[in-house]
Structure formats: structure tokens, C-alpha cells
Structure 1
């Protein structure tokens, strides 16, 4: 069903989504009732003025989904995430996992508050409680003090996923694109489409498909599909170093692009198999991290964009940055173990 047509009887795709969602809700909620408000296409279209350009939230939108602001009789401000064309036609389980997990973490301050969803359209939507403004995190605008607070909020959100439920949840998809800020600057971790639930009493689970951003994937997950709380711990450690402290998120992306360019030109290093390439990438990363641990002044390590905002760095701030670096490296113990084998 398209958004421009009148509502028709439930389609097979809606029944399929509903069945998967119900199964996921029962599984994620440990068998307890967790009702989800279901909106019709007409209700969503009315709330967004038929997805008008004036309601489009370009700051949040990307190639996966489009975001719109809106309102209805029960909520003076809502935020709507609409899946991009055809995206969920082959990812029904991911959509339902996002809805299910969002519904049970909505009460925590570091997650978007889910209101409901609409499953009957070809492009399903999720509806969140809105505030005056949500925007994606731009670290280049943040001071050191603010960056420490952001790191604390993100780790608090991950810790909640890991500890608040009988079946721990592992986010697995750490990236800047999944972190929002509200009008008060409070972190909102989003997108649970690839979130993995660990069976009660177990410490890990094996999955068939590895997803996520390469920069933040630990080796047990990337090589063997083993997901545990360490998967998120590794990811936040990488995030803290690459994004918050050094501002070098594109470090690994640069080498991925380099490999493709050399392959096209038939030049450069012989990377061999994907496994060999990953090993070389990991060792390059290890060399880079080792340099961070050397006796270098912090102003050679810290993000230049952040330093530009500071007239001078106090001794206290230098100590904080050093401790921040050491903590980040400790989060990546699995990488260090891999590189010594």
C-alpha cells in the first residue's frame, strides 16, 4: 500500500510484520505484555500533512530512512521515522526488532521515547515522542568537558541495555549516525534494528550475519559471529578514541578506500584474502594505537577542532585526556589479544 492511497484491508506483508513483531515482543519482554500503539496510514499522513516538505527533518534523515515532525490529537509533537523505499522488504526482522527494543527502553532518558508504529504501508514508520528539536551529534562543535559528558551518556545507555533486563541486549551498531541529541543536549541512542538478545543465563550468542560499521567491530564478532557485552564495550572504546578524543573516525575508512583504488589500478600491496586484508588492517590499527601510547604530548593526539576552542589546556584536562585514552584502550582488550597471536 502506498502513502497516497486510501486504507485497504490488511495485506500479507502487514500480517507478516505483525507476527514477527509479536514474537519479538514476547521474546524481548520475557513473556510480559508490552502493547504497541498501531497507527493507520491515514493517521500518519494526517499527522505529517502527507509528509510535507515543511515537516521534513533533514538533520536526522539519511539513506536508510527519512524523518518527519508532526502532531496528532494526543501528542502536540511527534517524530516519525519512515523507512526508505523498499528497505524493509527484505529486513522484516530488523524492523520488528527496532520496534520491540525501542518499546522497552523508552522510559530511559538516553533513548528516544517510542509512541507506536505503522506496519500496513510498504514503507513502515515508527512514531516517537517529539521535543522542540532533535539533531545528530556533531562532535566538532563540542568542548572537551562536553565530550566527556557525551561519552558518559552513551556508555550509560549501553550499560542499561546490558543490565536492565533478564535477557541482555547488545546494540552492535555503534556509529555517529545512531546518536541524537535533544533540545537540552541529552544523548539519545537510536536504531535497534541489529540489536542482539543474549539468552538468559548465557554470556554470549552466535549469529549468522555480522552487521555494523567496520571501525567498531571486535574480532570475535567480525570473524565468528560471537556477540557478547564485550561487542559493545569494544565499540565504545573505539568510538571514544576515534570520535571523541582524536577526531580521526575516518582512519580505517581511508585504508578501505585505498584498497579499492589500488585494486582498480592493479597496483599497491597484495592484500590476498579478506582474512589477510582484515589482519593487515588490524595491525595498522594496532600500530596507530601504539603510537598513541608513546610519550607524546596530548596536543599531538587530541582532536585539533576541539583544541581550537581551548585557549590553553589545564593540567587537570590533560590528566583527564590521558585517563580517557587509557580507559578507551582497555575497552579494546580483544583487539590487543588478537594482535599478539
Structure 2
């Protein structure tokens, strides 16, 4: 997104790549879902759009502290979990974001997280628990492996993406950095991506906490005393990355676990 202004108000402006065949459909989906969900405090609010061009331009509120990928903050995790549950459970047709990434989470001046980019959202029909898509779209590293393998989307698809954001926050690493952190011998792009995923997760499960967690977190005041809680968060994240969706917890269960961890700190 780029920054602009209108009548003295600073705003975010989003334009889609006009060379992409699905750009117009994605933009219209983004506008429709943003308009429906903008009342939630953790959704980046839609201000307006321009429909006079072949592909709409979208205008959002300005989030002063940028994207989550640029500000690694552990405290925002539960709020992102809440907005994910909101999407998945509030409407008669559950909305699956499918593209929850650290690049689609913005932080306002108070570091309140705002989820954005609803262009790839999928709504599950009433009475159904999944949708089978024609093809897989999303962001490498945040795509659910079972979705990659079966083209099937469920609420657990967002659970997986959320867990990868959580792992990035804990480790201070992006997707490529996670692989390097786990094992320099993993060839994540030349081999089977599903096999690479399993290698990555198995390696992370077998590493010590201080080998995985961002040193900046451990160096903060009281960081060392929080190691049991950090281990609990790491265990939760890894549980959410299980290949089989039925093994992963629901986002509601994730929130309950995060509350338990927060109470153990208090």
C-alpha cells in the first residue's frame, strides 16, 4: 500500500496489478468484505474506493505504525486471533480470510493491530464446513499444506496462517529465515513444498526454546522469567501447524489458551 492524503487526512491507498487477470475480482471482493467488517476494531477500516477505473482503487484508514512485519510485537497476537474468530463465526456464511500474513496486519499509533486485504476471502455456504476451490492462491509460507494438497478451505485454513504469523513474531524471522533457523540443509523451493513443511516443523519441534525465540524478546526486562510462557506459545503455534486440519485447535480454542498463558504471567 502507498500513503496519500485527502483534505489534510493521511490515508492508505491500495492499487492492484492491472496485468493480473483476477485483479478486478480480487479488488471487488476486498471492497465487499472490508465494508462488511469495518466495524471491528481490529480490521483496517475502508474509507472509500474509486470505481471509475478498470480496476478499483481502494482507500483505507492510515495505520501510523505500519505493517506487523516491520514491528514484531507479541502483545497483539490475541487481538489478531479475535478478529479471525470474528470473520469465521459472525456471519451466516463464515468468511475465511485465506491470506493472514504479517504483511496484511497493520498497527495504528497505539499498536492496535488492523487486519487488511480481503481480496482472497472465501465464504463457506450455510450448512457446509468447507469449500473446494478451482486453484490455490495465497502467500508462500502462510498457505495451509492441506489446502495446497486438496484445494479445500475450512476455518482451520486460517488457523494455520495465524500460526505462521505467530511463529514469525516469536522467532523474528520471515518464512525463509524460519527454514534457515530450523536447518540449513532444507531445500524449501526445489523439493516438494509439503515435504519441506514437515521437515521444517519437525526441526522446530526438536530445537531448544533459546535456539528459536527472537533474542530481542529474551533480552527484554523479565524475558528470561517468561520462558515457560514463551514455550507454551511456541507449542501452541506448532500445534496449529499440524497437516491434518482436524488435529489443529479452533481459533476459539487458541484464544482460550492465550488467555491461560496471559493469566500465568499476571
Q: CA deviation at 1:252?
A: 6.0
Larger CA deviation: 164-173 vs 278-287: 278-287
In 2, distance between residues paired with 1:166 and 1:337?
22
Contact 1:88 1:95 in 2 (8 A): no
Contact 2:42 2:83 in 1 (8 A): yes
CA-to-partner distance for each residue in 1:33-89, whole Å, 9 max, x for gaps?
Answer: xxxxxxxxxxxxxxxxxxxxxxxxxxxx3xxxxx232224xxx52524241552565
Q: CA deviation at 1:101?
A: 0.2
Counterpart residue number, 2:236: 327
In 2, distance between residues paired with 1:287 and 1:333?
10
Contact 2:188 2:196 in 1 (8 A): no
Q: CA RMSD in A?
A: 2.8
1:77-116 aligned within 5 A: 77=9, 79-84=11-16, 86-87=18-19, 90-116=22-48
Q: How many residues align?
A: 243
Counterpart residue number, 2:99: 173
Counterpart residue number, 2:171: 246
Q: CA deviation at 1:180?
A: 0.5
Q: CA deviation at 1:279?
A: 3.9
- Counterpart selection for 1:313 from 209, 223, 227: 223
Contact 1:286 1:336 in 2 (8 A): no
Q: CA deviation at 1:312?
A: 5.1
Counterpart residue number, 1:39: none
1:33-112 aligned within 5 A: 61=1, 67-72=2-7, 77=9, 79-84=11-16, 86-87=18-19, 90-112=22-44
CA distance 1:94–1:327, change in 2 (3 Å): same
CA-to-partner distance for each residue in 1:308-331, whole Å, 9 max, x for gaps?
Answer: 4x255343x112111101211221
Unpaired runs of 5+ residues, structure 2, are: 248-266
Counterpart residue number, 1:301: 212
CA distance 1:68–1:251, change in 2 (3 Å): closer
In 1, distance between residues paired with 2:121 and 2:229?
32
CA-to-partner distance for each residue in 1:130-165, whole Å, 9 max, x for gaps?
Answer: 46x2511246x54xxx41x21111111111100110
Contact 1:209 1:225 in 2 (8 A): yes
Based on CA coordinates, which of the two structures has the bigger radius of gyration? Answer: 1
TM-score, length of structure 2 as denominator length: 0.80
Contact 1:174 1:212 in 2 (8 A): no
CA-to-partner distance for each residue in 1:167-203, whole Å, 9 max, x for gaps?
Answer: 0011111221111011111100100110111101111
TM-score, length of structure 1 as denominator length: 0.64
Counterpart residue number, 1:126: 58
Secondary structure, counterpart of 1:287 in structure 2: helix
Unpaired runs of 5+ residues, structure 1, are: 1-60, 62-66, 264-270, 272-276
Counterpart residue number, 1:135: 66
- Counterpart selection for 2:138 from 199, 209, 212: 212
In 2, distance between residues paired with 1:174 and 1:123?
23
Q: CA deviation at 1:105?
A: 0.5
Q: CA deviation at 1:253?
A: 6.6
